[in-house]
């Protein structure tokens, strides 16, 4: 429910150890939103930063309490949970997500809103020239392709967080209980009229990327297994194919034994094949484990994040 006095636009920003970049973000974000001229609120979620980010956010809240709200997590729950918390507390009719590191220029927000004016409920983005390492660019292009094949989610550029969502989509996201999710993909699955536009992309203003290779792999795993059971099906298909091939192979060996006589040299080929099968089996078990782990997480239904406190004007409080 949106109150009559609610801001039209909510900007949700996850913050994790960004103390060096935050002042520059404030210096560009607030003027950019003021220039748009509609009512807005900015919701920062401090995702358990170990630097001074929380203090910097608190100062900023004191400077602009009319439009600033800060959610303080009491631990690090990840970028997507930070955005989730922002979604649950925001009140705008339109919601924009943004990274705190200034890689997504805040000036682009007005372009996203212009697309929503045309009736789109989801505005995705494609980074015009991506300012990341070559490895990150190639890896994410490959993951994009794979994801497009096995899920029904069509995103040219899955990595860019500068996106706009309608209230309906955010309400739908809020009603899901996914404990590990990828917000742009989840939002896309609820969208009726999605669109993608090109946006600029800049170098990180300060600090370094919070995503290690391991975290990136985990994120892509979330994306694949969270939105499709195709990985399981592919595995069964491969399993069936290998089974058929090995039956053929056994028949071949039996005939060969009758015609040519017993063979000993081929022993190592058999070893090779056995190891291959063991590999596949282990992979399968791992994949099953991944899904079962998710079921386990979901069944436990632990709180997805813990909020330590919220800084907001009494008049801003959500009822
Ligand atoms: N972030 C977060 N929690 C985390 C990791 C990242 O809230 O555990 C925030 C981070 O502060 C930034 C955004 O998520 O605003 C994107 O992170 P980053 O720029 O490190 O990712 P990259 O641009 O390298 O994909
Ligand atoms: Mg970044």
What single string gives the DSSP state of each residue in 95-140? EEE--TTSSS-GGGHHHHHHHHHTT-SEEEEEESS--S-HHHHHHH
Cβ(137) – ligand 1 distance below 6 Å: no
Cβ(82) – ligand 1 distance below 6 Å: yes
210 CA → ligand 1 middle, Å: 5
| C-alpha 187, offset from chain centre | 10
Q: Which residue has the higher pLDDT, 69 or 301?
A: 69
C-alpha R_g of the chain: 25
Report the pLDDT value the prediction gives residue 265, as an integer from 0 to 100.
67
Testing ligand 1's pocket by substitution, the residue of 99, 131, 133 carrying the most ligand atoms inside 8 A of its CB is 99
Testing ligand 1's pocket by substitution, the residue of 12, 13, 15, 16 carrying the most ligand atoms inside 8 A of its CB is 16
Taking phi first (over 0 means left), then psi (-120 to 50 degrees means alpha), and beta for anything else, what does residue 223 get?
Answer: alpha
Cβ(78) – ligand 1 distance below 6 Å: yes
Report the pLDDT value the prediction gives residue 267, as an integer from 0 to 100.
72
79 CA → ligand 1 middle, Å: 6
Compute how many other C-beta atoms are within 10 angstroms of the C-beta atom of residue 60: 21
Sign of CA dihedral 137, 139, 145, 151: negative
Task: Indicate the pLDDT class of residue 264, thresholds 50, 70 and 90.
Answer: low
Looking at the predicted structure, is the pLDDT value of residue 207 above 60? yes
**Residue 11, token pair as written in the block:** 């900007």
CA dihedral 86, 115, 227, 136 (to 10 degrees): -80
The terminus-to-terminus CA distance of the chain in angstroms comes to: 9
Alpha helices (H) in the chain, listed in sequence order: 22-36, 53-63, 79-89, 109-117, 134-150, 167-175, 183-190, 213-227, 230-259, 267-300
Looking at the predicted structure, is the pLDDT value of residue 1 above 60? no
Q: Whose CA is nearest to atom 8 of ligand 1?
A: 78
**Residue 175, token pair as written in the block:** 């009603």
Note whether 199 and 105 are within 8 A (CB).
yes
Specify the residue for token string 């040519």: 260
Residue 98 and residue 132: Cα distance in Å, rounded? 17
Of 79-93, 153-167, 211-225, highest mean pLDDT: 79-93
Closest ligand by atom to 25 CA: 1
Residue 85 and residue 91: Cα distance in Å, rounded? 12
Average pLDDT on 24-42 reads 94
Report the pLDDT value the prediction gives residue 169, as an integer from 0 to 100.
94
| C-alpha 144, offset from chain centre | 12
Average pLDDT on 175-204 reads 86
220 CA → ligand 2 middle, Å: 16
Note whether 181 and 151 are within 8 A (CB).
no
Looking at the predicted structure, is the pLDDT value of residue 7 above 70? no
191 CA → ligand 1 middle, Å: 24
Average pLDDT on 133-148 reads 82
**Residue 196, token pair as written in the block:** 């993608």
| C-alpha 163, offset from chain centre | 12
Q: Which residue has the higher pLDDT, 279 or 66?
A: 66
pLDDT tens per residue across span 271-313: 777 777 887 888 888 788 778 877 877 777 777 888 888 998 8
103 CA → ligand 2 middle, Å: 6
Between the alpha carbon of residue 252 and those of residues 246, 256, 260, the distances in Å are: 9, 6, 11
CA dihedral 310, 184, 227, 119 (to 10 degrees): 120
């Amino acid at each position: 429910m949106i109150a009559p006095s609610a801001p039209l636009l909510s900007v949700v920003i996850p913050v994790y150890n960004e103390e060096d970049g935050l002042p520059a973000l404030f210096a560009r974000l607030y003027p950019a939103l003021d220039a748009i001229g509609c009512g807005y609120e900015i919701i920062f979620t401090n995702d358990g930063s170990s630097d001074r980010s929380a203090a910097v956010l608190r100062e900023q809240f004191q400077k602009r309490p009319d439009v600033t709200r800060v959610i303080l997590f009491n631990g690090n729950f990840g970028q997507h949970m930070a955005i989730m918390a922002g979604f649950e507390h925001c009140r705008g009719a339109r919601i924009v997500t943004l990274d705190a590191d200034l890689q997504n220029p805040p000036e682009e927000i007005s372009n996203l809103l212009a697309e929503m004016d045309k009736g789109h409920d989801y505005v995705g983005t494609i980074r015009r020239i991506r300012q990341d390492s070559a490895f990150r660019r190639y890896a994410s292009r490959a993951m994009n392709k794979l994801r497009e094949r096995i899920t029904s989610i069509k995103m040219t550029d899955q990595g860019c967080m500068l996106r706009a969502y309608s209230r309906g989509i955010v309400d739908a996201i809020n009603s899901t209980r996914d404990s590990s999710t990828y917000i742009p993909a989840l939002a896309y699955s609820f969208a009726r009229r999605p669109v993608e536009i090109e946006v600029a992309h800049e170098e990180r203003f300060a600090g370094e990327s919070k995503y290690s290779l391991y975290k990136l792999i985990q994120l892509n795993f979330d994306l694949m297994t969270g939105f499709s059971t195709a990985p399981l099906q592919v595995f069964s298909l491969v399993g069936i194919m290998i089974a058929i091939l090995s039956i053929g192979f056994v028949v071949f060996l039996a005939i060969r034994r009758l015609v040519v006589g017993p063979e000993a040299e081929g022993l190592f080929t058999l070893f090779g094949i056995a190891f291959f099968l063991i590999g596949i089996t282990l992979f399968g078990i791992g994949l099953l484990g991944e899904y079962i782990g998710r079921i386990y997480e979901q069944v436990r239904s632990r709180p997805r994040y813990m909020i330590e406190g919220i800084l907001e004007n009494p008049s801003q409080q959500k009822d």
